[in-house]
Amino acid sequence: MNVEGFDAVFKALREIEVDLDRLRALSIHGAAALGDADKPSQLLVVLENSHPLRIQKRKHPQMDLIVLVGEQELLGDCSREELGGAAASAFLLPYTPLIAADSLDEMDAIYKKHVVLEALQNLILEHKLASTRLLIDPRYFLYDKLRRLSTMYPPIRPYIEASIKGGLKRFPKNTLRGFERALNVLVDEGVVIRKGESYSPSEKFVREVLSKKSIYTKFSGELEHVFRLYLSAGLSSPLESIKDLGLDLGMLRPVKIPEPSEMIMIETSLGPQPLLIDLGIRQFIEMIYGIRGGKVELKKAAGVLNSAYIARVSMEDGELKIFVKKYLNWTDFKWFVAWLWSVGVKNFSLLASIRLSNEIYFINKLLDLEFNVPEILHVNWPKKILFQKFIEGRNFMSILTSKLKVDELEEKSRNVGRLLGRLHRNGISMGDCNPFNIIFSNNGEIYLVDLEQCSYEESFSWDLAEMIFYTCHYLNVDLAEKFGCSLVEAYLEEGRVEDVVEAMDLKYSRIFAPLTPPWVQARIREAILREIRR
């Protein structure tokens, strides 16, 4: 800023009777910071120690609004939005420090760390465990906050609009400096992980947020910000803000802010893909595989209660198969009945968003742990559809009910028992651990599928009870005994004996009694307990 500009600033401060001896920091925010002095801009005035927030409306474009605040109040607003962001939100606009640049940059980073944490928590509450696989462009945090702020507080709209019109390249370049500093701090604190030019919330942070917060917390927090914002500005509502600050049509006109959701990608085995892209099966095949005009054949997978399909399309070098799964809410009869069936013993997730999130997270987690699971090809988050690699092979139930020799049945059962023991040793329970969800592929590998009920709840005994007593419904009692004992024998190579003992508890009898008669269960239970005592 030139000498004339400084003179104008100090003249404005004298006009509103600011004690210049208490002046600690000074900065211009908005279009003027980008060199456009004729557009609405704000002057942030920071006084030493404590001073109540004071907002002064003026007619001078370069200092259209003067925000006067004490150091203590500004710090509280930057770190916790104690003033609802009435002062701190100036840092969302491009700014040029005039006095105490280092101090202002520190406040900027503190505020933007708060903004990032707030945005991350909202994303985690919406996408649950799957949020660990989101790739977030730093611009997301800026535009997400600006969108919410412009909705809650119309008086800031002219300043946002003027800044954006100053150039969509120069605008974020100026404002993102504080976000980059904040994100570096959060990387060091283990809150986010840097992946190229993007960031993902860490697994530790995601699980911490999900254990403490809820959607209700998210909305109540937003309402608290609105209340504090208007209270701090000395206003009671948006209508009063328009009356008090003068009728400005710019306040009533929505601001064209870039869509934040377009700045989030999700990891898949085919590379990062936009989170909110809405592709159907044919569109996905055309976009990813370049097949146009091909006939896509859809076949329902498994039983009538399943919302999963196999998509087939002919290619020059063979047939392409994709497993497509649509997640329904509690009206999905399968999970509603399962929930009623097992109430009091096992809790099933019913909401589609939670089940999709679980599946995305645990597919990637198990891949990291070197388990065999079908890779994710595409996520249609808006319609809750998951596209996965199709695994050629047979499920465990199909194998057990084929004409196997006894030694072959025992060997397959040991393979599955060993797999479950390893899964539980890693602290993961499958949730829906039935023989249809274990696939023996044509190349001899064993795959875990249908992971939407996976969790860290350590309900290992449920997994074992379901696998054993559900499967025994389809076997004669002699084969059922050999299957159960072989599975448990191998399971104990890595699993815990106490989980097997609990799986034999009579509390599971009522659940599986409609499938496997109590006298059959009793014989298998006694045989397994004998196996354990050896």
Distance of alpha carbon 381 from alpha carbon 127, whole angstroms: 9
Distance of alpha carbon 346 from alpha carbon 174, whole angstroms: 52
- 19 and 124, same domain (yes or no): yes
Provide the CATH number for the domain around residue 308: 3.30.200.20
How many domains does the structure of the chain reveal? Answer: 3
Residue 270 inside a domain? The answer is no
The residue out of 367, 389, 411 marking a domain boundary is 389
Residue 18 inside a domain? The answer is yes
DSSP 116-127: HHHHHHHHHHHH
Position 229 scores a pLDDT of 59
Residue 236 inside a domain? The answer is yes
Provide the CATH number for the domain around residue 467: 1.10.510.10
Residue 10 inside a domain? The answer is yes
DSSP 108-174: HHHHHHHHHHHHHHHHHHHHGGGGGGEEE-THHHHHHHHHHHHHH-GGGHHHHHHHHHT-TTHHHHH
Distance of alpha carbon 20 from alpha carbon 492, whole angstroms: 76
Position 12 scores a pLDDT of 80
- 17 and 149, same domain (yes or no): yes
The residue out of 231, 265, 299 marking a domain boundary is 265
Position 215 scores a pLDDT of 46
Residues in the chain: 534
Residue 271 inside a domain? The answer is no
Q: Label residue 276 exposed, middle or buried (CB < 10 Å: 0-12, 13-18, 19+).
A: middle
Q: In what order do the strands lie in the sheet with 41-47?
A: 54-57, 65-70, 41-47, 23-30, 95-99
Q: Label residues 35-69 b or e (16+ Cβ within 10 Å = b).
A: ebbebbbbbbbbbeeebebbbeeeebbbbbbbbbb
Distance of alpha carbon 114 from alpha carbon 117, whole angstroms: 5
Task: Give 141-158 pLDDT, tens digit per residue.
Answer: 999 999 988 888 888 888
- 194 and 123, same domain (yes or no): yes
Q: Which residue has the tokens 């960031």?
A: 199
Position 346 scores a pLDDT of 44
The two beta strands, 264-266 and 134-136, are: antiparallel
Provide the CATH number for the domain around residue 49: 3.30.460.10
Position 335 scores a pLDDT of 39
- 98 and 171, same domain (yes or no): yes
- 418 and 368, same domain (yes or no): no
Q: Which domain holds residue 148?
A: 3-265
Q: Global pTM?
A: 0.84
- 412 and 373, same domain (yes or no): no
- 310 and 457, same domain (yes or no): no
The two beta strands, 65-70 and 41-47, are: parallel
- 380 and 399, same domain (yes or no): no
The residue out of 389, 408, 442 marking a domain boundary is 389
- 25 and 142, same domain (yes or no): yes
Q: Which of 414, 421, 430, 291 is nearest to 349 (CA)?
A: 430
Position 222 scores a pLDDT of 52
Q: Residue 446 has which token pair?
A: 């064993």
Give φ, ψ of 170 to 5 degrees: -70, -35
Residue 502 inside a domain? The answer is yes
Residue 248 inside a domain? The answer is yes
User: Could you list the pLDDT tens digit for every one of the 534 residues in the chain?
Assistant: 554 566 778 888 888 888 888 999 999 998 888 887 778 888 999 999 999 998 888 776 567 788 999 999 999 999 999 888 889 999 999 999 999 999 999 999 999 999 999 999 999 988 999 999 999 999 999 999 999 888 888 888 888 888 887 666 677 788 899 999 999 999 999 999 999 999 999 999 999 999 886 544 444 455 555 555 555 655 433 334 344 445 455 566 778 888 999 999 999 999 999 998 888 888 888 888 877 766 778 888 765 444 788 988 887 777 889 999 988 765 444 434 444 344 444 444 557 888 899 999 999 999 999 999 999 999 999 889 999 999 999 999 999 999 889 999 999 999 999 999 999 999 999 988 999 999 999 998 999 999 988 999 878 999 999 999 999 888 899 999 999 999 999 999 999 999 999 999 888 777 777 777 888 888 999 999 988 887
Residue 99 inside a domain? The answer is yes
Distance of alpha carbon 188 from alpha carbon 428, whole angstroms: 28
Position 344 scores a pLDDT of 44
Position 274 scores a pLDDT of 93
- 149 and 283, same domain (yes or no): no
Residue 95: strand, helix, or coil? strand
- 235 and 338, same domain (yes or no): no
- 58 and 142, same domain (yes or no): yes
Element (H, E) at 79: helix 71-80
Distance of alpha carbon 176 from alpha carbon 258, whole angstroms: 15
Other beta carbons within 10 Å of 422: 17
